[in-house]
Chains A and B, each alone.
Chain A
Amino acid sequence: MNEARILDRTVPRQQQEWDIKGALNFILGGAGSGLLVAAPFAAMLRADPRPFVALGLVLVAGGLFSVWLKIGRPWRAFHVVRRPSTSWMTREALIAPFLFAAGALGVFSGAPLFILVAALLGALYAYAQARILKANIGISAWRRWSCVALIVVTAVVEGVGIVAFASPFWPSLAPLGFLLAALIVARYIAWTNYIADLRRTGAPKGTLQAFDVFAPRFLILGHAAAAVFALIGAIGHYPAALALGGAFAAVGGALFKYTLVCRAAFTQGFSLPRTPARGRGKPGPGLRPGWEPPQAN
């Protein structure tokens, strides 16, 4: 079929409502919740987990504050808790106070129980964020389980990456490099599965183009370089290398979420199963402009 000449808003278009302030909820919230998940691992390696928990809470709070600045009616923000039955945004908002309470108790008391509870709530928070995106079925790039898996594993990679970044202050964290490398491999698998899912089911061309531009940097710096530095740091006990690996892994995750929310999020657009027969004309073939058709297996 010849490419249709499309006017108006028939083709998918990049979403404009969630800008960097909206994306920061996922960037900071994901990294913060991942940091809460990673804090017990730091404790297992004889590092003080409390600074990580505190930073995790600050990041989550920063994400929520950023999105509060973005919403149209900020002084009504507490209405957000009114639909726990179906809205993952409500559920995210309901998890947050428990997460802050457990985290604050962990920071001030140092009790491992609160650190662990904060880690569990951090995992739930990251999952809720992923489900917020999945529930938004108007955006093809978000409405898939492969995206949920990628968002959750990215949060954990970011958290462990930030802990690894602190390894110059706690040289005992060196073995964390093995965990970081393993998680980077897991994120690579989640990423390739996500991209394959997009191509298999079809996606807006703009979505695929955005990821095509982003992928080389993400794979080379966020995965390959990060994993190599993490392993060098772990095997050779070089805290600086481990810190570098952690920084690459965490920054790569943040850039991925920025790309996912601000660059690759295209609307569904419109389609026709076939064109109608008008007057004496004949019906024409269907069309779905702006979409890359599903790839055959």
Chain B
Amino acid sequence: MSAQVNQDKRYVMAIDLRRCVGCQTCTAACKNANATPPGVQWRRVLDIETGEFPDVQRTFMPVGCMHCANPPCMHVCPTTATKLRADGLVTIDYDICIGCANCVMACPYDARSIQHIAKYAYGVPMKSEEARFEPERLGVATKCTFCKDRIDLAAKTGQTPGVDPEVTPACVNSCISDAMHFGDIKDPNSNVSKLLAKTEHFRMHEELGTDPSIYYILDGEEA
């Protein structure tokens, strides 16, 4: 099964695992940008410790929705709430989703969550939480959007996602070690195309045929 979308652009993320220091700033930036409730993290950083003393190693791996070009979540979605845009973003229409969780099971990246009741950091809502509460997100699937409002803004302003911070996902903007990069992989001159051309990288669970849009860099030239 493959997605039949004619893509003129495809926004992807390239994450240099050599540079990520596991500071979780991207996680915090995502929560701030998207007002996700406690327990819901659209961007998180895995902390993997391997080896045996004294030869131990830690690897930090930011994960989230991979915005697959062949998204299993979209294929199983019975309502058409999950869609693949022409620019490669996988979106959820909260007004159509019924919260069946079929997509949660279909996603091999553990990227989706459903919150059935409102949750607040301290039990009762703070003013900031009240102000940013979005009732349409209750009882439906939610996930990383690649900050699609910013991507959409680029179409109006002519700015370049991944280059201009106003139209770049919050997590990429926030990265303190320049590990995260964002751009259009269909453009051979984009920052990510150039970076991926000179590095060794992999994509998570490619063997499942999802064609994910997050590339993890392991070796090669630095950005």
Contact = CB atoms under 8 A, between A and B. Distances in A.
B49 A4 contact: yes
A41 B63 CA distance: 53
Contacts of B72: 135-138
Interface in A22-72: 22, 67, 70-72
B76 A9 contact: no
Nearest to A136: B105
A268 B139 contact: no
Contacts of B104: 15, 17, 138
B124 interface: no
B78 A80 contact: yes
Determine the main DSSP class of A at the interface with B.
loop
B97 interface: yes
Contacts of A1: 50
A287 B50 contact: yes
Nearest to B139: A72
B186 interface: no
Given A73-B139, A83-B77, A138-B107, A7 B46 contact: yes
A86 to B, nearest CB: 4
A76 B52 CA distance: 53
Given A6-B49, A138-B108, A281 B57 contact: yes
B78 A136 contact: no
Contact of A77 (B44, B63, B98, B109): B98
Contacts of A89: 76, 78, 100, 102
B48 interface: yes
Nearest to B3: A86
Contacts of A272: 48, 59, 61
Interface in B102-139: 102, 104-110, 114, 116, 138-139
A93 interface: yes
A249 B18 CA distance: 55
Interface residues of B, number: 53
Interface residues of A, number: 59
B162 interface: no
B47 A7 contact: yes
Interface in B45-101: 45-52, 57-59, 61, 63, 72, 74-81, 96-101
Contacts of B100: 67, 71-72, 80, 89
Nearest to A22: B101
B198 to A, nearest CB: 15
A274 interface: yes
B12 interface: no
A31 B99 CA distance: 25
B57 A18 contact: no
A281 B50 CA distance: 13
A18 B59 CA distance: 32
Contacts of B57: 275, 278, 281, 284
A136 B106 contact: yes
- Pick from B46, B105, B139 the residue with the most CB of A within 10 Å: B105
- Pick from B49, B50, B81, B205 the residue with the most CB of A within 10 Å: B50
Interface in A245-297: 265, 267-278, 281, 283-285, 287, 289
Going nearest first, the 10 A-B pairs with the smallest beta carbon separation are: A72-B99, A72-B139, A136-B105, A17-B101, A89-B78, A79-B79, A268-B108, A90-B78, A276-B17, A87-B78
10 contacts: A2-B52, A22-B101, A71-B139, A76-B96, A80-B79, A80-B100, A142-B105, A270-B61, A275-B57, A285-B50
Interface of B: 1, 17-18, 44-52, 57-59, 61, 63, 72, 74-81, 96-102, 104-110, 114, 116, 138-140, 202, 204-205, 208, 210, 217-219
Given A76-B79, A135-B76, A270-B63, 14 more contacts: A15-B104, A72-B100, A72-B116, A72-B138, A74-B98, A79-B81, A86-B74, A87-B75, A89-B100, A136-B102, A276-B18, A278-B18, A278-B59, A284-B50
